[in-house]
């Protein structure tokens, strides 16, 4: 596990399938407005496919999805990840979400900070972009809380439910 706080990140494993599936199903109302993969018909098969994708991504180094877990119980509380890695530009995207039962407790902030540390130290990334639906104020507050700077609202930057929508784009740079 990475981190020494109340919330810790680590790669997803098959053993997390039931907990992740329950967490997503209990969070549909809050997450489905922002995350296209989170929908009413989200199934255990979707969870299994996601965890298999995570294993493949880690194995190939194409992206680094982490589960976020409560340190004391080991139960899943959210997700965070580094993706869209551009080795030549030394940049990547950072994304995060928190399950409904732990909203407002600092889960996403702690997880985003831990994932950013991983990206900067382990992957040698210099810049992380956080691309957020402009109306997702909670995610925007997290980006600001971890020190990311709003670079602008970019027209049609985010593919969302079959359409291109504007996005608030934040940038987090590695501290020298």
3-class DSSP string for the chain: CECCCCEEEEECCHHHHHHHHHHHHHCHHHHCCCCCCCCCCCCHHHHHHHHHHHHHHHHHCCCEEEEEEECCCCCEEEEEEEEEEECCCCEEEEEEEECHHHCCCCHHHHHHHHHHHHHHHCCCCCEEEEEECCCCHHHHHHHHHCCCEEEEEEEEEEEECCEEEEEEEEEEECCC
Average pLDDT, the chain: 94
Indicate if the pLDDT at residue 3 is higher than 50.
no
Indicate if the pLDDT at residue 88 is higher than 90.
yes
Confidence band for 134, pLDDT divided at 50, 70 and 90: very high
Q: Mean pLDDT, to the nearest integer, of 57-63? A: 97
Indicate if the pLDDT at residue 127 is higher than 80.
yes
Q: Mean pLDDT, to the nearest integer, of 71-80? A: 96
Confidence band for 176, pLDDT divided at 50, 70 and 90: low
Q: What is the percent of the chain with per-residue pLDDT over 90, rounded to a whole number?
A: 88
Selection from 117, 56, 51 nearest residue 79 by Cα? 51
What domains lie within the chain, and their CATH numbers?
Answer: 7-127 (3.40.630.30)
Indicate if the pLDDT at residue 114 is higher than 60.
yes
């Amino acid at each position: 596990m990475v981190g020494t706080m109340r919330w810790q990140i680590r790669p997803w494993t098959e053993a997390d399938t039931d907990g992740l599936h329950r967490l997503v199903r209990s969070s549909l109302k809050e997450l489905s407005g922002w995350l296209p993969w989170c929908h009413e018909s989200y199934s255990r098969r979707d969870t299994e496919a996601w965890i298999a994708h995570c294993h493949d991504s880690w194995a190939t180094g194409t992206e680094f999805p982490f589960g976020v877990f409560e340190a004391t119980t080991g139960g899943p509380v959210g997700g965070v990840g580094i993706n869209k890695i551009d080795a030549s530009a030394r940049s990547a995207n950072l994304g995060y979400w928190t399950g409904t039962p732990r909203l407002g407790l600092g889960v996403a902030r702690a997880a985003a900070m831990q994932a950013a540390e991983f990206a900067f130290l382990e992957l040698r990334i210099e810049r992380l972009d956080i691309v957020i639906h402009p109306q997702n104020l909670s995610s925007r507050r997290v980006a600001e809380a971890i020190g990311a700077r709003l670079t602008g609202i970019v027209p049609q930057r985010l593919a969302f439910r079959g359409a291109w929508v504007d996005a608030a784009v934040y940038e987090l740079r590695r501290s020298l």
